[in-house]
């Protein structure tokens, strides 16, 4: 068994995974053809280059263009349900025992679906996957920065409404340069009052101050990426002192040019400094990566050792937006895999 196969066998958790960035290429290809969105003559290989990054791109905008077909197919209940189910199936194949799936419900109302129907379709698909594969999940609803505070309020209301049915929290995503955390204070203070878990994309595209602001002003309990924290030692100290978890996604950061290359990614430096780092894929399809492959890359490129891998997995369990009971079960599963983990060194 090679190292990647061993990593697949180790129970893992994934906290930062976007539904629209993680649709199987085959599924998207089939649905796009059915809906007449692409020419009948196009091959799956050609199509793959339209929805996946083949090489790093020089802007977040170009990266986001890769999502256009995904959004087009995520406009019917059947498609949404199928895609959520397949993501759980893919997680299972990858040895992921718990996954938090995030999406922006308001991106899927272009045709006739209501936000409630969209959320219910994701939960139905994920639940079917859970029953079949025993992979647990939590749903995070994303508010998009460029849509403004009123739409954020709407997303938070929706999350609160579906809280007992699988939605565990809310996220703030999108253009952090032009829409700083200050603009969303009222909405996110309200989210905290409603008992929702909060995570915020911050420090992904250069502005490290957004990390601290997201925690202090928006009550974020986890930070998506936080990669640029290294620019300010005060931010690093803040993350360590307050044990603020980072949901780090190295391949995605290479793809968006947030770092020059994999070797220069600060993830292990942060982990070794005592920051509560976790590992995720961000967008499995767009970045052509699974969580096992992400761990394998860390071993290959940055010399991650087995103890550090275990730490990343345990950190993920500690800060997951799920019950203590489920965390206990997940820790037991990881403990049972200690032998496979020790073979990785």
Cα distance between residue 179 and residue 164, in whole Å: 31
Q: Which is nearer to Zn ion, 10 or 191 (CB)?
A: 191
**CB-nearer residue toward Zn ion: 14 or 120:** 14
C-alpha to C-alpha distance for 57 and 208, rounded to whole angstroms: 21
Minimum CB–partner distance for residue 237 and Zn ion (Å): 25
Shortest CB 252 distance to Zn ion, Å: 7
Task: For the CB of residue 16, give the shortest distance to Zn ion in the complex, in Å.
Answer: 6
Residue 142 CB, nearest approach to Zn ion (Å): 8
**Measured between alpha carbons, how far is residue 269 from residues 162, 229, 274, 275, 335 in Å?**
38, 11, 9, 9, 25
Applying CB under 5 A, the site for Zn ion has a residue count of: 1
Let me know: does 156 contact 183? Beta carbons within 8 Å. Answer: no
Measure the CA–CA gap between 246 and 261, rounded to whole angstroms. 19
Give residues 75-94 in contact with Zn ion (rule: CB under 5 A): none
Say how many C-beta atoms besides its own lie within 10 A of residue 290's C-beta.
Answer: 24
- CB nearer Zn ion, residue 104 or residue 322: 104
Q: Which is nearer to Zn ion, 136 or 251 (CB)?
A: 251
Binding mask 270-289 for Zn ion (x = CB under 5 A): ------------x-------
For residues 137 and 96, the answer to whether their CB atoms sit within 8 Å is: no
Q: Which is nearer to Zn ion, 282 or 308 (CB)?
A: 282
- List the one residue out of 11, 6, 92, 88 whose CA is nearest residue 331: 11
Phi, psi of 23 (to 5 degrees): -85, 135
Report, in Å, the least distance between residue 151 CB and Zn ion.
Answer: 18
Q: DSSP letters of 257-297?
A: TSSSSGGG--HHHHHHHT--EEE--B-TTTTT--HHHHHHH
Enumerate residues 6+ apart whose C-beta is below 8 A from 5.
none
Q: What residues act catalytically?
A: 204
Identify which of residues 8 and 16 has a Cβ nearer to Zn ion in the complex.
16
Supply the DSSP symbol for 204. Answer: S
Q: Residue 32: phi, psi to the nearest 5?
A: -65, -40
Least distance (Å) between residue 196 CB and Zn ion: 18
In angstroms, the CA 27 to CA 285 distance is 11
CB distance 160 to 166 below 8 Å: no
- Contact residues toward Zn ion (CB under 5 A) are 282
């Amino acid at each position: 068994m090679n190292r990647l196969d061993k990593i697949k066998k180790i129970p893992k958790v994934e906290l930062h995974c976007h539904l629209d960035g993680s649709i199987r290429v085959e599924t998207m290809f089939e649905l796009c053809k059915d809906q007449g969105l692409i020419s009948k003559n196009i091959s799956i290989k050609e199509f793959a280059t339209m929805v996946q990054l083949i090489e790093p791109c020089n802007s977040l905008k170009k990266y986001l263009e890769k999502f256009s077909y995904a959004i087009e197919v995520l406009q019917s209940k059947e498609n949404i349900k199928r895609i959520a189910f397949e993501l759980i199936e893919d997680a299972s194949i990858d040895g992921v025992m718990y996954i938090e799936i995030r999406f922006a419900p308001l991106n899927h109302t272009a045709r006739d679906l209501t936000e409630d129907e969209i959320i219910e379709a994701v939960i139905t698909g994920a639940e079917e996957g859970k029953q079949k594969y025993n992979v647990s999940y939590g749903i995070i609803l994303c508010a998009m920065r460029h849509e403004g505070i009123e739409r954020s309020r709407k997303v938070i209301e929706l999350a609160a409404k579906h809280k007992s049915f699988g939605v565990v929290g809310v996220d703030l995503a999108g253009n952090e340069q032009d829409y700083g955390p200050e603009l969303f204070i009222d909405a996110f203070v309200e989210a905290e009052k409603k008992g929702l878990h909060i995570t915020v994309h911050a420090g992904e595209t250069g502005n490290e101050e957004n990390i601290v602001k997201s925690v202090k002003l928006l009550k974020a309990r986890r930070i998506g990426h936080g990669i640029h924290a290294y620019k300010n030692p005060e931010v690093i100290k803040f993350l360590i002192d307050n044990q603020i978890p980072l949901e780090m996604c190295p391949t995605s950061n290479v793809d968006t040019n947030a770092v020059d290359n994999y070797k220069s990614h600060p993830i292990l430096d942060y982990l070794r400094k005592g920051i509560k780092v976790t590992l995720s894929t961000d967008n499995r399809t767009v970045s052509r990566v699974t969580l096992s492959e992400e761990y394998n890359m860390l071993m290959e490129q940055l010399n991650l050792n087995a103890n550090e891998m275990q730490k990343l997995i345990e950190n993920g369990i500690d800060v997951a937006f799920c019950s203590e009971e489920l965390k206990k079960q997940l820790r037991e599963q990881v403990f049972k895999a200690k032998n496979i983990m020790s073979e990785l060194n």
